[in-house]
Amino acid sequence: MAKKEFNYRGKSTPELLTMSLAELANILAARPRRKIKRGFTAIEKKLYEAITKGKNGMRTHARSMIILPAMFGKTIKIYNGKEFIPVEIQEEMLGHYLGEFAMTTKRVQHSAPGIGASRSSASASVK
């Protein structure tokens, strides 16, 4: 079975790649549209320029950068507060933020309670 061709609001991937940022902003959702129209920060501009030049494996702290068509197929290492998490950008991620794909917290996994954790275990013998 062939992979279904990606479309974003009626636009195919080659059409998205040829669009300017202003044209792309018009078809994105409200929040990313506002971000693009207000302009990128200096760090985001630097990241976008490096990606458009063809660099791959960039490391960045710009978690608030919007995923754009120029990033498709690239691997970007996103900082989560402790380490850089490699994330491969796919077409379905268009319009999302980089920070959504590099979690900053781990899932809490509790084990059995220790001695003194409850009233009944306070008087238990230590073995």
Which residues neighbour 76 within 8 Å (Cβ) at sequence distance 6 or greater?
47, 51, 57, 58, 60, 86, 87, 89, 98
The mean predicted confidence, pLDDT, of the chain is 90
Report the alpha-carbon distance of residue 80 to residue 63 in Å, rounded: 8
Q: Is the pLDDT of residue 117 over 90?
A: no
Number of C-beta neighbours around residue 126 at 10 A: 4
Report the alpha-carbon distance of residue 58 to residue 52 in Å, rounded: 12
What is the amino acid identity at position 85?
Answer: I
Percent over 90 (pLDDT), the chain: 75
Number of C-beta neighbours around residue 20 at 10 A: 8
Task: Domains for the chain: give ranges and CATH numbers.
Answer: 7-102 (3.30.860.10)
pLDDT tens for residues 6-33?
899 999 999 999 999 999 999 999 999 9
pLDDT band at 114 (very low <50, low <70, confident <90, very high): confident
